[in-house]
Amino acid sequence: MSSCLGPPPGSPAAVRPREDPRLADRIAVSAAAGRGAWLRTEDVRAWLAERRAAGDFHVARIPFAELDEWRFEEGTGNLVHRSGRFFTVEGLHVVEHDGPYGDGPYREWQQPVIRQPEVGILGILAKEFDGVLHFLMQAKMEPGNRNLLQLSPTVQATRSNYTRAHRGTDVRLLDHFVRPDPDRVIVDVLQSEQGSWFFHKCNRNMIVETAGEVTVPTDFRWLTLGQIAELLHEDDLINMNARSVLSCVPYPDGTRGALHSDTQLLSWFTGERSRHDVLARCVPLAAVRGWKHGVEAIEHEHGRYFRVVAVSVRGSSRERVSWTQPLIEPVGPGVVAFLVREIDGVPHVLVNARAEGGFLDTVELAPTVQCTPGNHAHLPVADRPPFLDTVLGADPSRIRYQAVHSEEGGRFLHARSRYLAVDAAEAPLEAPPGFIWATPAQLRALTRHGHYLNVEARTLLACLNAAATRSREGV
Amino acid sequence: MSSCLGPPPGSPAAVRPREDPRLADRIAVSAAAGRGAWLRTEDVRAWLAERRAAGDFHVARIPFAELDEWRFEEGTGNLVHRSGRFFTVEGLHVVEHDGPYGDGPYREWQQPVIRQPEVGILGILAKEFDGVLHFLMQAKMEPGNRNLLQLSPTVQATRSNYTRAHRGTDVRLLDHFVRPDPDRVIVDVLQSEQGSWFFHKCNRNMIVETAGEVTVPTDFRWLTLGQIAELLHEDDLINMNARSVLSCVPYPDGTRGALHSDTQLLSWFTGERSRHDVLARCVPLAAVRGWKHGVEAIEHEHGRYFRVVAVSVRGSSRERVSWTQPLIEPVGPGVVAFLVREIDGVPHVLVNARAEGGFLDTVELAPTVQCTPGNHAHLPVADRPPFLDTVLGADPSRIRYQAVHSEEGGRFLHARSRYLAVDAAEAPLEAPPGFIWATPAQLRALTRHGHYLNVEARTLLACLNAAATRSREGV
């Protein structure tokens, strides 16, 4: 019987410990399991290729005029779905004061943004096999992925999905997450998504265990945390939603402490939230200044940042075999990196309190570097993002982790970033304004709550967890 | 030397424990100290009366036309300050879907609301005397308090205050909080305020220790947590801002656990946030439907909820000796209560996930009952707030705590509520939808983070902490 079963029905009320005392061990056992009870790690790529071939998917760029269920709304020019559901592309006007107490220098800009004011579910089902927790991953096609299929959570469902607006087949296995068994929830937290491209978007990140039999559909496979850690070292394999959920796995903290106590870290963050004033409001897409509306794209007048484009999707096996939709396409690849160093023998990462126009609340904790270098190429060196040159110029011997990952392929077209952990052993402990050294264990503790780590920091945290797992395994 | 001093400057980098191992004991010692090193608890009322007399304050209602620095803005009709600072009174339009997954029944309404998009500081300075932490409380006049002076934090400063828009004397002792010593921060968190009256308002709740000499001005006194606990049992004595900060004091958790683990509690809360859709946007005050604009008040067409009114303030010793301002005046006294019961010997309170139009994020954790009964008197019994009749009809023997407290007297006129903890030993453990049993220790842990407990729940948590302190002292 699994340790997270509650008391049997009808038994007298009893308190339980506030933390499940066995969970940390069970997570550690799964992380140490380089082999799973089902698919071998080295066969995952071949299985994905096989599923890709079976799906027979085709994605093609189309002009906006060929979007069948989407149109530019009269008056606002917003790009909307006929049903009023899914998402809209609107304009965003941002004014950011980021000096001390919000009275410092400020930036102001306008941009298109995706608005999707509903909470989706990103859920991974977990189950013990041979005493080891396995996680059910799906080979899922998303039109924005260059390789189309990647490993996703068991379920990724917008509310439109699970209230059937999609008119496709049921979202499989959804019931484990819509009505989760409280005795079997491992992770359940609302986390933000890209604040540069989404307005106030968050999703429910969940891991729920089951003791029951699960009929595993063709596109799903059980993997251990150790297997997933290995796969997180490969390019374009674990999708963004899976990385986000995996970042919230409550790995045990084996470290002795941190440069700053949790109270100090939270106090610094409170100060950063307090000193930033970010006023962001949606405006009509037609009124966005500095962007050109063409027949195939809405793009920035200087060709920077991203384009809004449209695609058609055809395939044989997804919930809907054929549809069209808008996507956001960044103009170039991104670089997302943590500087890492040991302090007194304990690994730390350099975290940045970053304001993005689409965040619900001013700033979130972001990687040391998070940008599309091409957007800054025209700037004098002094005005380029801090630490970007350190990361781009790092000697290969200093790179502790790197892989290229895709952002959400259901909303973003070929949005790929190189994620890195770069050793900066000699970096000063006094971090510049807006930055602080924190341990991965401290960041993991914060993933229990929403609006602390942004989605890029969560991806890197999942990667750091994976790198730590791999180094313990001696791979 | 105090335990929370950091390493001396220039010493080699060292990690520290993520939690200060001595803090819980130091808090417990202060809570157990019924006598302080300075003012006796029984002399606090007399001292407040003396300060009240010295201040010679006069507050009078005035017509809007007599507001000197405030005016109704042309076009919007918003009530604004000539400087553009402080706050504005605008309109709020709220649409709330609260069925499963936001597709259930909905409510829609409009109301005036206070908008103050800047983070103020509520800071209590702490210092050890004779080995016991004392907290520096201020006898502060606020025009909305019926008794004018109450005990407030050491500092309560809007950004307008500390950037001098107030043109009065400096906010005293502010530097401890604007540039806090990271080694001496005990509490530092952004907490929300009344979501029914404020739009997205939050303040920085801080407790910072000092080892230095403090010159204590006339209106300030050092008190132990034990003394403050005793004073929290008196009516209209500890102001709202002080109660909010005090709710965040990291009292040690001496209990064995809880009915629901922390993961279960957070999962339930995530579910509540997910299933509520609250769309709230500011609209011009002039356009708010259902409210009448008179010469002395803006009030609801059926006389419910609250009025927007104006007052003049005269006194001799505040930062400004004379000013006029708008205030929000509720139409009747409020009732705010937790049902409490022991489960397996551990005290629990029944918490409600409550949507308020002014919250930044859908719902926060609120008391079991939080309402102005007069607003619901016209409704059939079945439509009255859940548990209201249980609280109002409770036998006196069941009342574990009660006192009347004032809401923020700088914004609200005579906004007083009876705060209660009512024993409900026989209440079922299966809570109705939207409610859950949690322990005070669990709620205290959540006060480390913003947007979990609303300000009424924080007041009651501070009161429960005080009641627990008193019962341990055998008072």
Residues B374-425 pLDDT 10s: 999 888 988 899 999 999 999 999 999 999 999 999 999 999 999 999 999 9
> Angle, nearest 10°, between helix axes A455-473 and A240-247?
70
- The predicted structure's pLDDT at residue B100: 54
What pLDDT is stored for residue A1 in this prediction?
34
Domains of chain B from N-terminus onward:
262-279+332-473 (3.90.79.40)
Residues written for chain A: 475
Q: Locate tokens 């001013």: which residue?
A: A362
Query: Which of A3, A5, A16, A18 has the highest number of chain B CBs within 10 A, making it the mutation to test binding with B?
Result: A18
Contacts of A279 in chain B (CB under 8 A): 117
B70-94 mean pLDDT: 95
CB contact under 8 A, A255 and B20: no
Specify which residues A364 forms β-bridges with.
A354
Q: Which residues contact B43 (CB under 8 A, 6 or more apart)?
A: none
pLDDT value for A5: 41
Beta-carbon neighbour count of residue A386 at 10 Å? 14
Report chain A residues whose CB lies below 8 A from the CB of B115: none
Query: What does the mean pLDDT of chain B come to?
Result: 92
CB-CB under 8 Å, B270 with A204: yes
Q: Give the pLDDT band of residue A351 (cuts 50, 70, 90).
A: very high
**Strand locations in B302-447, DSSP E?**
306-314, 322-330, 334-343, 346-355, 363-366, 369-371, 399-406, 416-423, 435-438
Please tell me the distance from the alpha carbon of residue A242 to that of residue A33, in angstroms, as a whole number.
Answer: 19
CA distance A178 to B271: 9
Q: According to the model, what pLDDT value does residue A254 have?
A: 86
Q: Look at B267 and A182 and tell me if their CB atoms are within 8 Å.
A: yes
Inter-residue contact B121 to B155 (CB < 8 Å):
yes
- Angle CA B284–B290–B292, to nearest 5: 80
Nearest to A421 by CA among A398, A450, A390: A398
Q: Select the residue of B188, B255, B267 nearest A188 (Cβ to Cβ).
A: B267
Residue A58: pLDDT over 50: yes
Tokens found for residue B139: 């006898």
For residue B19, which residues of chain A lie inside 8 Å, CB to CB?
A: 261-263
Q: Which of B17, B180, B279 sits opposite A257 (nearest CB)?
A: B17
Contact residues, chain A, for B256 at CB < 8 Å: 15, 17
Per-residue confidence (pLDDT) for residue B167, from 0 to 100:
41
* B15, B263, B279 member nearest A344 (Cβ): B15
Positive/negative CA dihedral, B251, B252, B255, B259 = positive
Q: How large is the average pLDDT for residues B215-224?
A: 95
List of residues 6+ apart from B72 with CB closer than 8 A: B64, B78, B79, B80, B285, B286
Mean pLDDT value of segment B322-343: 97
Inter-chain touch B20–A261, beta carbons under 8 Å = yes
Q: What was the pLDDT predicted at B34?
A: 96
DSSP-derived letter for residue A260 is S
Amino acid at A375: N
Task: Look up the pTM and report it.
Answer: 0.95
Partners of residue A16 in chain B, C-beta under 8 Å = 257-261
Per DSSP, helices labelled H in B158-317 are: 159-162, 175-178, 225-231, 240-247, 262-275
Q: What is the reported pLDDT for B104?
A: 64
| pLDDT digit string, tens, across residues B88-105 | 999 999 998 765 555 567
Residues of A in contact with B258 (CB under 8 A): 15-16, 18
Structure tokens at A71: 């149109």
pLDDT band, residue A118 (cuts 50/70/90): confident
Is the CB of residue B374 less than 8 Å from the CB of residue B407?
A: no
Contact A185 B159 (CB under 8 A): no
> pLDDT-based confidence at A104, cuts 50/70/90?
low
Chain B residues closer than 8 Å to A189 by CB? 266, 270
Please state, in angstroms and rounded to a whole number, the distance separating the CA atoms of residues B316 and B56.
Answer: 6
Check CB contact under 8 Å for B16 and A259: yes
CB pair distance less than 8 Å for B271 and A449: no
Q: Number of helices (H) and strands (E) in chain A: give both, helices first.
A: 10, 25
Of B314, B325, B296, B294, which is closest to residue B70 (Cα–Cα)?
A: B325
Contact B109, B290 (CB under 8 A): yes
Residue A126 tokens read as: 């977990």
Residue B4: its pLDDT value, please? 39
Q: Which of A359, A306, A344, A322 is nearest to A439 (CA)?
A: A344
Alpha-carbon span A242 to B410, nearest angstrom = 47
- Residue in chain A nearest B281 by alpha carbon: A281
- ipTM score of complex: 0.94
**Residue A16 contacts residue B258 (beta carbons within 8 Å):** yes
- Rounded to the nearest integer, the mean pLDDT of chain A is 92
For residue A167, pLDDT over 80 is answered with no
pLDDT of residue B462: 98
Distance CA B112, CA B109 (A): 11
Q: Name which of B63-67, B177-181, B283-287 the model is least confident about.
A: B177-181
Closest-CA distance of chain A to residue B422, Å: 20
Residue of A264, A269, A346 to mutate, testing the B interface (most B Cβ within 10 Å of its Cβ): A264
The alpha-carbon gap from B203 to the nearest alpha carbon of chain A, in Å, equals: 9
User: Helical H runs in A148-261?
Assistant: 159-162, 175-178, 225-231, 240-247
Residue B300's contacts (CB-CB under 8 Å, 6 or more residues apart) are B290, B291, B292, B306, B307, B331
Question: Testing the interface with A: which of B4, B5, B11, B15 to mutate, by most A Cβ within 10 A?
Answer: B15
Predicted local confidence at residue B96, as pLDDT: 87
Residue B98 pLDDT: 66
Strand partners, B324: B312
Grade residue B5 by pLDDT with cuts at 50, 70 and 90.
Answer: very low
**Residue B461 distance to chain A (closest CA, Å):** 19
pLDDT digit string, tens, across residues A458-468: 999 999 999 98
Pairing label, strands A79-81, A120-129? unpaired
Stated as kind and residue range, the H or E segment containing A264 is helix A262-275
CB contact under 8 A, B263 and A17: no
Are B92 and B332 in contact by the 8 Å Cβ rule? The answer is no
To the nearest whole angstrom, how far is the Cα of B406 from the nearest Cα of chain A? Answer: 26
Position A388 confidence tier, pLDDT thresholds 50, 70, 90: very high
